[in-house]
Structure formats: structure tokens, C-alpha cells
Structure 1
Amino acid sequence: MNIGVVVDNEFDHDHRVQKEIRLLRDDGHTVFVLCFGFKKTYKDYPDFIVNRIIIPRKLRDLLVLLSTNFKFYEALWQYHIAKFISTHKLDALHVHDLYLAKAAKQGIKQSKRNLPLTLDLHENYPAAINSYQWAIQGWRKYVVQPQRWYKKEGYYLNYADYIIVLSDSFKQDLMKRFPFLKSEHIYPHPNMPDFDSFEAFEKTDYAVEFHSDLPTLFYFGVVAKRRGILDILPWIIELLEEGNQFHTLIIGPTDKADKTVFQGYIHHPVLKDKLTYIPWANVNYLPAYLKKITIGLAPFQVNAQHDSGVANKLFQYMYGEIPIVATKCKAQQELIQSAACGLLYETKDEFKSAIKSLIANEALRGQLGSNGKKKLLDLYQHKADKEFLDIYK
């Protein structure tokens, strides 16, 4: 089949979408991509065609800001999706994220080609946008009106013929809230790493500058209050003040709204020599970093957004045989308990106890890490991240 994949970013660093494209191509499909382009030149992809909507990033951001109440953003996507469908004579459309569902359905109608629409949900979008600082603070909350997405969610889901979700628990939640959804049309697809890529990365000797002789706590991902990392930094300071010896490595961009607070922690007198912050690192280097750390952190705040699926960092920790310390978000709690690959916490005391136990007990770290890798291999061998391919059969 000719499958069109639509994503409202630059695509080049969206590893979930890139992995899905590889799986679709391996399954015999021809893939075309429609995405944004914020600069003049991008890398070429020899195995599929990428069409870019060239637009200034600031204009795109303004359209997103207005998109809850105004039609400009949807009209832009509808026009380009219709053209995309007609140009490549598509047989199916695979669109990423809830807010593109209506534009995709209207684009299909405008193209006059009757093709099925698959909606790929990367998150619980209504819960997510209601946690984003840029959407809920100051004057923007009156423009964005993020709470309206709780009412719009059902309408947008109804535009799709098939839906992809991050976890079975999110699937069950959607079916409970929207009885018109059919179980056989919803496919869980977890954020598992691309094994082929990770194995290729390990064959290349990627040198990383970070080194510590101390046990190392590791957080990989966006630094933001909603991700929970700012919640645990005061507790990490307490652990160090109590005489526990360890280092903390954080890799990932910082949300603009949280930069000042995070910078304050980086320069804290207790943390300044016991914390290394790297704003960005290519995922190619991740296996090399995993060899240098002791404990993987997944401190997400417990809410509907984080209950919807397991963040890819947990699977990455499991790939590196790293024990995990995590909050009790529904999907990640189920994974960690079923795999016996980490320790869960709800309170500061439970977090501190988990860190101290793992630092002191090398055998426990080894067992939990081994369990995680075994569970990940089992999921991979059972093609848990490939079940969505059944849509196109």
C-alpha cells in the first residue's frame, strides 16, 4: 500500500515515527511523509519521500496558540493533506496526534479519495496540554483554553477509522469514556526502542565525555516540572547532605518556563559538584551513556497524561540493564511490577529509601537490571511494538 504519514514537527528527530516508518516499509508498504520544515535544507531519506510544509517556526507556534478556537491551523493542514493524498495516490493515511484528526478527515474528503484514517496518539492530549506551562500560565490560558480539549476529544477520536495508543490501559480508559469506540479498532503500540538501531549504535564506538567514580543516577528526557524531575532534586540534595555518595546525570532540553528554577538547582552548593547537566545528546550515544550509570529515574508526576503510556526512557533503561526508580503512573507501574525491574515510590521517604537501597546493594541492582532486559526481549520477540501493522492487513 501507499501509506501517507503526517506529523506536525520536523520529523528528523521523532524516533517513534521513524521507527514506525521502518516497520511499515519492512512489511512491504511504500511510505510518504508530510511534515513541517523550519529551515532551508534537511537530510535526504533514500527509502521514502518527505514533503515539507515550509513555514517560519514562530508562525507555526502562533497558529498552534490560536488553534483551539480558530481554524487557521486546521485549514493549513487540510489543504496540504489533500494535496499530499492526491500527489502520491495514497491508499491510507497515518496521522500523528489527536489535534490533526479533523484536518486529516477533511483533507481526505477534499482529495475525493476514500481511504482509511489511522490516528496515532502519542499521549493523552487533553491531559497533556492542561499540564503544559506555556498553555496554562498568564494570558495564554485565555487564548489556548486547554480545558476545551476534554470536550473536543471524543469528536476528534470519532474521525479515525483506527487508533494507535501507547498502552492497553489507555485503550481501556478510552473505551470506558467513549463507548462508540470498538476494541478491534484500537491497537496498543508501546514506546519501545528500535533494537536494530540500538544494536548498530553499540557497534560504533561512540565516545562520551561523562565519567564519575561514584554511583550515578540518570534522567534522560525533557527537564520540566510536569516530568517530575524538579520534584526530586530537593530530595537528592537531602540525600547528599545526609552523607550518601553518588552523582546525578541529567540529559535533555529544559522547558522555557522551568529554566530559572532548574538553573537554581544546577548552581546549588550541594549539587554543583555532584550533578552534570547536558542540554542535548543524540540518541546514538545513549547506549554508551547507559554503560556509565547505576540507576535510571522516571519521576513523572502521576496524572492522566502519564497514566496513558510508558515513556520510552523506561524501555531504554531496560535495554541497558539499569534498575529503575519510578512513580506509580499506571502504565509504568504495571510494566515495572510485571518485569520486577525497579522500585516504585509515592513519597519523599520512599524515594530516598529506594535510592539508598540500590546504591548499597549491587546484587539487587544486577537482578533488577537483568529482569528488565529479559522482559524487554520478551516483548520484542512477541512483536509487542509491531501489532499496529495488523491495521494495514
Structure 2
Amino acid sequence: MNIGVVLDNEFDNDHRVQKEIRVLLSEGHSIFLLCFDFGNAYKTYNDIEVTRIPIHKKIKDALVLLSTNFVFYEFLWKQHITSFIIKNKLDALHVHDLYLAKAAKKGILASPFSIPLTLDLHENYPAAINSYEWATKGWRKHIVQPKKWYKKEGEYLKYANNLIVLSNYFKDNLLQRFTFLKATPISVHPNMPDFESFESFKKNDFPVAFESIHPTVFYFGVVAKRRGIIDILPWLIQLLEKGKKFHTLIIGPIDKADKRLFNSYINHPVLKNNLTYIPWSDVKYLPAYLKKISIGLAPFQVNAQHDSGIANKLFQYMYGEIPILATKCKAQQELIENSGCGLLYDNFEEFDENLTKLIENPELRKTLGAKGKKELLKLYKEKADCNFIEIYK
């Protein structure tokens, strides 16, 4: 089949989309990609045909701000999707994220081809946009009006012939809230890392030297209050003041809105000598860091967005045989409890108790880490991250 993949972002660093495309290619499909071009240097791809839409990042962001109540962004994508379908004689369209569903359906209807639409939900978008500072604070909240997406969700889901979601919990939640979805095939595609890529990354050493004589607590990903990592920084200070011996390594870019608060914590006189912050590192260096750390953090704030799926960092920790300390977001709680690969917490007391257990008990860390790797290998054996391919059979 000729399958068109649509992504309203740059493609080169979207590992979920890249992995899905590799799976589709392995099944013999021809893949055509439509994405944005923000004027950066991009890779070339021999096995897929890439069409990039040139646009300034600030213009794209402005159109997204207006997209709840105005059709500019929808019209832009509808026009490009129609041309994309006609040019490549597509047999199917695979579109990423809820907000592109209407533009994609209109693009199909404006083309001479009656093709099915698969909608790939990377997150619970209504819950996600209502958690973003840029959408809910100041003057922007009056323009974005994020709460309207709770009403729009059902309409946009109806445009899809097939759905892909992050977890069984999210699938069940959608089926409970939207009875019309019982007639819509829904595939679960967890955010598992590409195993072969991670195996090839083993030879890489990390670019920023890092050593600690104490157990190291690790967080990898975007640094933001909504991700929970900033919430636990004062807890780490309290534990260090109580005499606990550990080091913290954080790798990831900071949300602009949270930069001042984050810096105030990491420059605290107690924490700054027991914390290493690296603003960014390519994922290809992650296996090298995993060899040096003791405990993986998944401190996400518990809400509908984070309940909907398991962040890829949990699977990355499991790959490195690292025990996980996590909040009780539904999907990640289910994974951790079923596999026995980590400990959970609801509050500071539980965080203190469980982090202390992991710091002081290397055998417990080893046991939980081994269980995590075992569960991950089981998921790969069952091809849990390839079930979506049934849509195209």
C-alpha cells in the first residue's frame, strides 16, 4: 500500500513516528511523509519520500494558538493533505494527534480518493492542552480556550476509521466515554524504544563526563512542573538535609515558564553539590548514562493526560535494568505493579520511604531492575509495539 503519514512537526527527532514507519516499511508498504520544515538542517531518507512544508516556527505556533476558534491552521493542513494524497496516489492516511483529524478528513474528501484515515493519538490531547502553561495562563488562555477541546474530542474522533492509542487504560477510557467508538478498531501502541537502535547505541560513551560515589537518581526528558520533576526537587533537598547520601542527574530541556523556579532549586546550597544538570543529550547516549545510574524517576503529576500512556522513559529505564520510582499514574502504575520493576508513591512520606529503600539496598535495585528488563523483553517478544500493523492488513 501507499501510506501517507502526516506530522505537524519536524520528523528527524520524533522517535515514535520513525519507529512506526520502520515497522510499516518492514511489511512492504511504501511510505510518504508530510511534515513541517522550520528551516533547520534535516537528514535525507532513501526508503521514504518526505514532503516538507516550509514555515517559520513562530508562525506555526501562532496558528496553533488560534486553532481552537479559527480555521487557519485547519485550512493550511487540509490544502497540503489534499495535494499530498493526489500527488502520491495514497491508499491510506496515517495522521498524528487529535487536532489534525478534521483537516485530514477534509483533505481526503477534497481529493478524488476515498481512503481510510488512521488517527494516532500520542496523548490525551484535551487533558494535555489544559495542563500546558502557555495555553492556560495570562492572555493566551482567552485565545486558546483549552477547555473547548473537551467538547471537540468526540467530534474529532468520529473522523477516524481507525485509532492508535498509547495504552489499554486509554483505550478503555475512550470506549467508556464515547460509545460510538465500539465500531472503530483501536490498536494499542506503547512508547517502547526501538530495541535494535538501543543495542547499536551501546558502543557510545556519554559526551559529558559524569561520576558519583553515591547512588544516582536519574530523570531523562523535558524538565517542567507538569512532568513532576520540579515538584520533587524540594523533597530531594529535605532528604539531603536529613543526611541521605545520593546524587541526582537530570538531562533535558527546561520549559521556559518553569526555568526560574527550576534554577532556584538546583542552585540551593544543599542540592547544587549533589546534582548534575545537562540541558540536552541525544538519546543515542542514553545507554551509556544508564550504566552509571541507580534509580530512574517517573514523577509525573497524576492527571488524565499522564494516565493515558506510559512515557518512553520507563521503557528506557527497563532496558537499562534500572529500578523505577514513580507516581501512580494509571498506565505506568499498572506496568510497574504487573512487572514488579519499581516502587510507587503518592506523597512525600512514601517518596522518602521508597527512595531510601532503593538507595540503601543495592540488591533490591538489582532485583527490580532485572524484573523490568525481563518484562520489556517479553513485550518485544509479543510484538506489543507492532499491533497497529493489523490496521493495514
State the TM-score, normalizing by the size of structure 1.
0.99
Q: For residues 11-30 of structure 1, what are the alpha-carbon distances to aligned partners after superposition, in whole Å with 9 as ceiling and x for unaligned?
A: 11000000000011011111
Question: How far apart are residue 182 of structure 1 and its match?
Answer: 2.2
Question: How far apart are residue 203 of structure 1 and its match?
Answer: 3.6
Alignment of 1:273-284 (within 5 A): 273-284=273-284
| Alignment of 1:70 onto 2:82 | no
| Alignment of 1:169 onto 2:192 | no
Could you tell me which residue of structure 1 aligns to residue 193 of structure 2?
193
Could you tell me which residue of structure 2 aligns to residue 362 of structure 1?
362
For the residue of structure 1 that corresponds to 2:4, the secondary structure is strand
Q: For residues 321-344 of structure 1, what are the alpha-carbon distances to aligned partners after superposition, in whole Å with 9 as ceiling and x for unaligned?
A: 000000000000000000000000
Tell me if the contact between 2:319 and 2:372 (Cα under 8 Å) persists in the aligned partners: yes
Q: For residues 20-72 of structure 1, what are the alpha-carbon distances to aligned partners after superposition, in whole Å with 9 as ceiling and x for unaligned?
A: 00011011111111100011542111111111110011100000000000000
| Alignment of 1:222 onto 2:206 | no
Tell me if the contact between 2:326 and 2:344 (Cα under 8 Å) persists in the aligned partners: yes
- The one-letter amino acid paired with 1:155 is E
C-alpha separation in 2, matches of 1:321 and 1:239: 25
C-alpha separation in 1, matches of 2:321 and 2:283: 17
C-alpha separation in 2, matches of 1:206 and 1:329: 31
Could you tell me which residue of structure 1 aligns to residue 120 of structure 2?
120
C-alpha separation in 2, matches of 1:40 and 1:80: 20
Tell me if the contact between 1:198 and 1:287 (Cα under 8 Å) persists in the aligned partners: yes
Could you tell me which residue of structure 1 aligns to residue 155 of structure 2?
155
Q: For residues 55-113 of structure 1, what are the alpha-carbon distances to aligned partners after superposition, in whole Å with 9 as ceiling and x for unaligned?
A: 01110000000000000000000000111111111110000000000000000111121
Q: Which runs of 5+ in 2 are unaligned?
A: none
Could you tell me which residue of structure 2 aligns to residue 320 of structure 1?
320
Alignment of 1:138-153 (within 5 A): 138-153=138-153
| Alignment of 1:7 onto 2:3 | no
Q: How many residues align?
A: 393
Could you tell me which residue of structure 2 aligns to residue 31 of structure 1?
31
Alignment of 1:238-387 (within 5 A): 238-387=238-387
Question: How far apart are residue 206 of structure 1 and its match?
Answer: 5.1
Alignment of 1:33-72 (within 5 A): 33-39=33-39, 41-72=41-72
| Alignment of 1:231 onto 2:200 | no
Tell me if the contact between 1:38 and 1:55 (Cα under 8 Å) persists in the aligned partners: yes
Could you tell me which residue of structure 2 aligns to residue 182 of structure 1?
182
- The one-letter amino acid paired with 1:366 is K
Tell me if the contact between 1:207 and 1:288 (Cα under 8 Å) persists in the aligned partners: no
C-alpha separation in 2, matches of 1:53 and 1:174: 32
Question: How far apart are residue 378 of structure 1 and its match?
Answer: 0.2
Tell me if the contact between 1:222 and 1:255 (Cα under 8 Å) persists in the aligned partners: yes
C-alpha separation in 2, matches of 1:283 and 1:35: 22
C-alpha separation in 2, matches of 1:204 and 1:139: 45
For the residue of structure 1 that corresponds to 2:249, the secondary structure is strand
State the TM-score, normalizing by the size of structure 2.
0.99
For the residue of structure 1 that corresponds to 2:385, the secondary structure is coil
Alignment of 1:197-212 (within 5 A): 197-205=197-205, 207-212=207-212
C-alpha separation in 1, matches of 2:218 and 2:279: 14
C-alpha separation in 2, matches of 1:133 and 1:210: 32
Q: For residues 182-214 of structure 1, what are the alpha-carbon distances to aligned partners after superposition, in whole Å with 9 as ceiling and x for unaligned?
A: 266000100001001001111445554222121
| Alignment of 1:392 onto 2:392 | yes
- The one-letter amino acid paired with 2:339 is A
Question: How far apart are residue 137 of structure 1 and its match?
Answer: 0.2
Q: CA RMSD in A?
A: 1.0
- The one-letter amino acid paired with 1:342 is G
Question: How far apart are residue 351 of structure 1 and its match?
Answer: 0.3
Using the aligned pairs only, state the percent identity: 68
Q: Which runs of 5+ in 1 are unaligned?
A: none
Could you tell me which residue of structure 2 aligns to residue 94 of structure 1?
94
